[in-house]
Amino acid sequence: MADMKKIIGAATVFLLVSAFYIAGISPTITSDDSGELAGVTATLGVAHSPGYPVYSLVGRAAQTLFPFANPAYRANLVSALPSAAGAAVAFFFFAAISGSIWAGFWSSLALGASSFFYETATATEVYGLAILFAAGMLAVLSSGIETGRRMRLAFFLWGLSMMSHYMASLWLPAIFYLAWKEKRLSAGDAASYALFAALGITPILLIPIRAAADAVYSWEDPRTLGRFLDVVLRARYGAVNLAQGKMNIFDAGQWAPKLRFLISELSASFSAAGFAVGATGMILSLARKKNKNFAADCGAGKSNIVPPTAADGVFLFLLFAGAGPAFLILANVGVDRVSSALMAKFFYLLSIVWCAYAAIALSKLKDARIMAAAGILLVGAAVANSAGKNSSRNHFTFYDYAANLLKNTPKNSIVIFDRADEMEFCVSYLLRIAGRRPDVEFLDANAGVSKSIYGDDYYKIWGPPRISLRNKAESDLISAAKRENGPVFYATFLARQTVTPKKPEGLLHRSAGQSPPGVFPDEVFALRPPEKEIRSRGLYGSHFSILGDYYLYARDDARAEKNLAAAFYLGDAGAYHRLGYFYYQKGENVKARKIFETIARFHPRDADARLNLGVIAEGDGRYDEAEGFYKAAAGMDPSDARARHNLGAVYWKTSRWREAAEAFERAAALEPENDAHRRFADGAKRRITN
């Protein structure tokens, strides 16, 4: 009877959570890796490091089994359904360690409703399968299966979870602790665990097989042993790193803000009350004495005894420490607005442990009605913090932007992309999977989602040597295209990064030497309102920023101001700086001053805005006002020699030689390589003596 209750409970969790996800699922590609992953599932491809072979296999099966909707939507189901299944499987673990089916039921619903699960389950992401296998591993470890079989099966599921996402590696200490506690850590046991883990890892063989078969999506072309190892070991990012770059993990100064971030994320996902319930469960789990009261079956019968170690407070704490504090300390990024959104996506394992703690706390409420009320509040708070804020149903910014780029592209063009991975992924999906614009040839300057035209060494070369390879290959490409009258375009934020000359044309840049058409109205591009997701908002702003720069180039002042103003109010202060400088160069100082005053009002710590206001005031002969602006700029950025030099120039023009000499001396100290500072300082000193 108890087993049937568990099965019914798990099935109910799966149905409710699946319906919850499908109601908020994105109908198409979204941000981050969405376009690439949708393409990988449609073509049995190799995704970005570490390749995600299990996701590719299951995704390809889903594309076949679901004969409806577009490929991106079907890929999104590979996020939603395994995530819901993971919450359902976690129910068995929660019920076992808490000794209460109802505590497990409410906790698994809260897990499925949490924003940690919801945000990745309603978009194209790889985490769903990792969640399912990790939850399955915990369910096995808390089951009544014979100890040796239980540990071997757990290691097999751990291997599958690793092939779905490397976060599973952070749970190895907890699993080995369990094996040690159960006295199953002999050399023979360890060998059998390694064998079963290796069986779980065998999908990794898909990576070289599909690369050799010229898969449409083949990240960094891992057909050679070296490139295969680079992909699976995440060489581009530095093995365990979240992104390219370095941070000293032994710097204890970064630990405190990361732990505060962890607490704030748990509170945001489960509410303050949910955080309190989980924290209570953690304390209770650590306070247990030999788990005497936690070996009973969930509810009634005794057919499925819980292994005492699976409910061990140390085991649970090792799971928590690995998925939370250890992960944050190992991550090579600090806690800021952008990296916080990135790190929160990796808290899916942490949320499983936190809901296990919640189940332990709820099980202490012996009155069924009180437990139900607490469970409903816990689930309701999680729903409000996920679907109420993060539904992906109307996330279209990346899709719209990619469609606009293709709309901007003339027929039979070559387009070189070096913007950012997300947009390259989206455009490649529209071209290769959705069948848009078959006349356009797509080249990926990052060489992630298409083969490198820059040579095989390009995959691991960075900095100036990488740019040098690009300069030669792209110059040759453009020369050949000119002979065939084929236009070459760039989709880039950094038009001057490579030496090939370019002219702005809408959202793109046309290689120089080809005559662009007349100025076209920006109304040809359509964008729906941006969603709250941080990268979508940034991309939305870049749309207006790039168009604004194009209209500056085309001398269409009205459209330039409209677009750059939109970019500014979306958070891009640089867009308005460029507009102000444009007016200043034209001699329209009133307009320029108004622009810089607006920047100063919205960005009180923007030193450049004060510096430019000072230049305008100085040019108009308002020296007292210019002095005030320059002093303000110098105070906001004490390392900027320009404010000191300009302050010296004001003193020079008003014959305040001693103050001029001091200002130029400070500028020279800040920028000793600039001879002008020293020359003017010496000139001011001579006038003092005269």
- b/e code 159-171 from CB counts within 10 Å (16+ = b): bbbbbbbbbbebb
Query: Beta-carbon neighbour count of residue 571 at 10 Å?
Result: 13
pLDDT band at 529 (very low <50, low <70, confident <90, very high): confident
Encode burial over 439-456: b for 16+ CB neighbours within 10 A, e otherwise.
Answer: ebbbbbbbbbbbebbbee
* CB under 8 A, 24+ apart: contacts of 618-623: 618/646, 618/649, 618/650, 618/653, 619/589, 620/589, 623/650, 623/653, 623/654
Averaged pLDDT for residues 472-493: 85
pLDDT score of 167 more than 90: yes
Query: In the numeric block, which tokens belong to residue 38?
Result: 């949708």
Query: pLDDT tens digits for 219-246?
Result: 999 999 999 999 999 887 765 555 545 5
Q: What is the pLDDT of residue 311?
A: 66
Q: In what order do the strands lie in the sheet with 508-511?
A: 441-444, 414-417, 488-491, 508-511, 502-505
Distance CA 677, CA 671 (A): 8
CA distances from 39 to 46, 217, 491, 535, 602 (A): 10, 7, 20, 20, 41
pLDDT at residue 412 tops 50: yes
At 2 the pLDDT is: 67
Angle at CA 112, nearest 5°, toward 109 and 115?
125
- Express each pLDDT in 140-156 by its tens digit: 999 888 888 999 999 99
Give CA–CA dist 209/318, Å, rounded: 37
Least confident of 38-42, 366-370, 521-525, 600-604: 521-525
Task: Specify the DSSP class assigned to residue 216.
Answer: S
Least confident interval from 154-163, 383-392, 404-413 = 383-392
Domain with CATH 1.25.40.10 in the chain: 605-690
SS3 (DSSP) at 171: helix
| Pairing of β 414-417 and β 441-444 | parallel
Confidence of residue 292 (pLDDT cuts 50, 70, 90): very low
Q: How many residues does the chain have?
A: 690
In angstroms, rounded to a whole number, what is the distance separating the alpha carbons of residues 316 and 97?
10
Closest Cα partner for 108 from 294, 351, 305? 351
Cα 380 to Cα 223: distance, rounded to the nearest angstrom: 49
Q: What is the mean pLDDT of residues 636-651?
A: 92
**Is residue 508 classed as helix, strand or coil in its secondary structure?**
strand
Burial of 523 (C-beta count, 10 Å sphere; 0-12/13-18/19+): exposed
Question: Could you tell me which residues are beta bridge partners of residue 444?
Answer: 417
Rounded mean pLDDT of 287-310? 51
Lowest mean pLDDT among 300-304, 342-346, 563-567, 634-638: 300-304
For residues 576 and 593, the answer to whether their CB atoms sit within 8 Å is no
Taking residues 376-389, report their average pLDDT: 84
179-188, 273-282, 519-528, 672-681: which has the minimum mean pLDDT? 519-528
Q: What local confidence, expressed as pLDDT, does residue 301 receive?
A: 37
Residue 62: both structure tokens together: 């889903």
Predicted pLDDT at 249: 55
Closest of 568, 528, 513, 516 to residue 545, by C-alpha: 568
Q: Which residue has the higher pLDDT, 527 or 14?
A: 14
**CA distances to 173, 243, 284, 484, 595 from 239, in Å:** 19, 10, 36, 44, 46
* Selection from 585, 632, 640, 586 nearest residue 613 by Cα: 632
The pLDDT assigned to 525 comes to 87
The CATH topology of domain 605-690 is 1.25.40
The beta-carbon contacts of 644-652 under 8 Å, at least 24 apart in sequence, are: 644/670, 644/677, 645/676, 645/677, 645/680, 646/611, 646/614, 646/615, 646/618, 648/680, 648/681, 648/684, 649/618, 649/680, 650/614, 650/618, 650/623, 650/626, 651/627, 651/684, 652/680, 652/684
Q: What is the pLDDT confidence band of residue 344, given thresholds at 50, 70 and 90?
A: confident
pTM (two decimals): 0.86
Q: What is the mean pLDDT of the chain?
A: 88
User: What pLDDT does residue 298 have?
Assistant: 38
CA 395 to chain centroid: 16
- Report whether pLDDT(305) > 70: no
Distance (Å, rounded) from C-alpha 530 to C-alpha 91? 36
